[in-house]
């Protein structure tokens, strides 16, 4: 018997249902709202784990657990983008190349991000661990929290 497949998109998730009969597909479709609700709940938990500041609509966590900026790249500087990428990672941090990759995935083309990291180190916003990862200093965390609160206002107004 042929398998029946149905595919749909919910926000940025692809949901695929497959079954051997129309009855099974019908049962799966009846359960779909529950599945979507669970997906939304998991996504909310991922955003909540980003930190003590509400970064919903600003930072998303990808499937690998890395932060990606969502849609505000025109409104922030490269330094601010770097702070928002580092903030949810707390003491884990990111290496320079990873920061560049995440900036690109966030829609920010920054050939000078390494220079921005150097400036941020000089300004006391980030520090570099012995293993090469950049993390936010206390000053950087305060600046990132203030920026997130400011951007939350921008997100709400849009």
Report, as an integer, the average pLDDT of 90-104.
92
**Average pLDDT of the residues of the chain:** 83
Kindly report, residue by residue over 13-65, the tens digit of the pLDDT: 678 888 888 899 889 889 888 888 887 777 665 554 455 566 777 888 777 87
C-alpha 60/C-alpha 63 separation (Å) is: 10
Question: Tokens 């980003």 correspond to what residue?
Answer: 50
The predicted structure's pLDDT at residue 129: 94
Sequence-distant (≥ 6) Cβ neighbours of residue 155 within 8 angstroms: 56, 57, 58, 72
pLDDT at 89 over 60: yes
- Residue 17: beta bridge partners? 6
* pLDDT exceeds cutoff 60 at 4: yes
Among residues 106, 137, 141, the alpha carbon closest in space to that of 124 is found at 137
Instruction: Give the predicted TM-score (pTM) of the model.
Output: 0.67
At residue 79 the predicted structure's pLDDT band, cuts being 50, 70 and 90, is very high
The CATH architecture that domain 59-157 belongs to is Orthogonal Bundle (1.10)
């Amino acid at each position: 018997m042929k398998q029946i497949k149905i595919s749909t998109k919910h926000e940025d998730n692809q949901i695929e249902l497959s079954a051997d009969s129309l009855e099974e597909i019908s049962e799966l479709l009846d359960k779909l709202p529950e599945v979507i609700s669970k997906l939304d709940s998991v996504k909310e938990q991922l955003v909540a784990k980003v930190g003590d500041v509400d970064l919903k609509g600003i930072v998303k966590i990808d499937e690998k657990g890395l932060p990606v900026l969502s849609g505000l790249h025109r409104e922030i500087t490269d330094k601010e983008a770097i702070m928002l990428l580092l903030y949810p990672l707390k003491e884990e941090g990111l290496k320079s190349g990873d920061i560049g990759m995440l900036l690109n995935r966030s829609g920010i083309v920054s050939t000078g991000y390494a220079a921005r990291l150097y400036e941020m180190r000089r300004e006391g916003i980030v520090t570099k661990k012995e293993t090469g990862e950049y993390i936010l200093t206390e000053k950087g965390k305060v600046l990132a929290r203030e920026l997130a609160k400011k951007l939350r206002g921008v997100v709400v107004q849009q």
